[in-house]
């Protein structure tokens, strides 16, 4: 679906990654992990054509990423940024509904009800249906994050790029929303790539991990292969230990 070949990314004069080769295949869920400041968000922005490449190439569905128009790109790629800015007052429902914009032409009106139904369904999924007509500015930080996620769900593209989607969310909504996203996108042959800070959420949902280290190096691979104690401790910059949960899941804790 999305392929990166010998990708190099800078932020200003700082080299964030060099020679990165990565393929996000249909049905997969990638998680980008690393400490603050290593360039996780910048790399995700590069994958979304929001930050320039310093070297290498990125293709999406076999076409160079740079050749896509913004509207066509938005039909196949949904992007959740850390901060979703709104320039004017907007209701929760209107924000969710804006996710359908790339799929409509200026003269197309016949699918308005279908678009509205999709937006309402997305609000149900993030448990904001009772807030549909509230102004976004009146919501808590976690509720605003769920509204932004509802917009991406309404957009419904094959590929999702999510920058810290669980920011401000309580545990209930972290699990509820990530359960839905990963299950739905895998089942329909889509793909997800998300930046997370919680290694336990990464282990739970990611089938592949990309680790960005503070020294500029990177490692990637299947989750079970990557999550070894020495590597996790290096990534988290402190000694980490793993415990086996009752459901057979591995949980990581600092020593």
Are 193 and 163 within 8 A, CB to CB? no
Per mean pLDDT, which range of 40-54, 103-117, 211-225 is the poorest? 103-117
With beta carbons less than 8 A apart as the criterion, state whether 7 and 195 touch. no
Question: pLDDT band for position 103 (50/70/90)?
Answer: confident
DSSP letter for each residue of 147-179: HHHHHHHHH--SEEEEESTTTT--HHHHHHHHH
User: What per-residue confidence (pLDDT) applies to 110?
Assistant: 52
pLDDT at 133 over 70: yes
Q: Is the pLDDT of residue 39 over 60?
A: yes
pLDDT digits (tens, 9 = 90+) for 149-200: 999 999 999 999 999 999 999 999 999 999 999 999 999 899 999 999 999 9
State the pLDDT at residue 108.
57
For 65-105, the DSSP string reads GGGS-HHHHHHHEEEE-SS---SS--BHHHHHHGGGGGG--
Q: What pairs with residue 17 in β-bridges?
A: 9
Q: What is the mean pLDDT of residues 212-218?
A: 89
pLDDT at 211 over 90: yes
Q: Which of 150, 215, 190, 164 is nearest to 44 (CA)?
A: 164
Q: What mean pLDDT is predicted for residues 212-234?
A: 93
| Among 8-22, 35-49, 107-121, 215-229, the least confident range | 107-121
User: Can you give the pTM of this predicted structure?
Assistant: 0.92
> H/E element holding 199?
helix 199-205
| Domains and their CATH numbers in the chain | 2-254 (3.40.50.300)
């Amino acid at each position: 679906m999305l392929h990166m070949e010998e990708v190099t990314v800078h932020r200003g004069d700082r080299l964030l990654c060099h020679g990165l080769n990565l393929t996000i295949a249909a049905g997969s869920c990638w998680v980008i992990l690393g400490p603050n400041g290593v360039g996780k968000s910048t790399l995700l922005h590069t994958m979304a054509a929001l930050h320039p490449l310093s070297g290498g190439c990125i293709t999406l569905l076999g076409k160079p990423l740079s050749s896509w128009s913004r509207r066509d790109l938005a039909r196949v790629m949904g992007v959740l940024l850390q901060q979703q800015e709104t320039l004017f007052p907007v209701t929760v429902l209107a924000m969710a509904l804006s996710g359908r914009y790339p799929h409509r032409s200026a003269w197309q009106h016949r699918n308005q009800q279908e678009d509205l139904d999709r937006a309402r369904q997305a609000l149900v999924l993030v448990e904001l249906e009772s807030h549909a007509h509230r102004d976004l500015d009146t919501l808590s930080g976690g509720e605003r994050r769920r509204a932004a996620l509802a917009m991406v769900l309404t957009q419904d593209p094959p590929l999702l790029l999510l920058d810290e989607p669980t920011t401000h969310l309580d545990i209930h909504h972290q699990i509820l929303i990530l359960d839905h996203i990963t299950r739905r996108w895998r089942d329909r042959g889509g793909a997800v790539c998300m930046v997370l800070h919680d290694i336990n959420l990464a282990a739970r949902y990611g089938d592949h991990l990309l680790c960005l280290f503070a020294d500029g190096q990177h490692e990637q691979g299947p989750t079970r292969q990557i999550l070894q104690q020495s590597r996790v401790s290096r990534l988290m910059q402190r000694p980490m230990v793993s415990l086996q949960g009752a459901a057979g899941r591995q949980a990581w804790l600092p020593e």
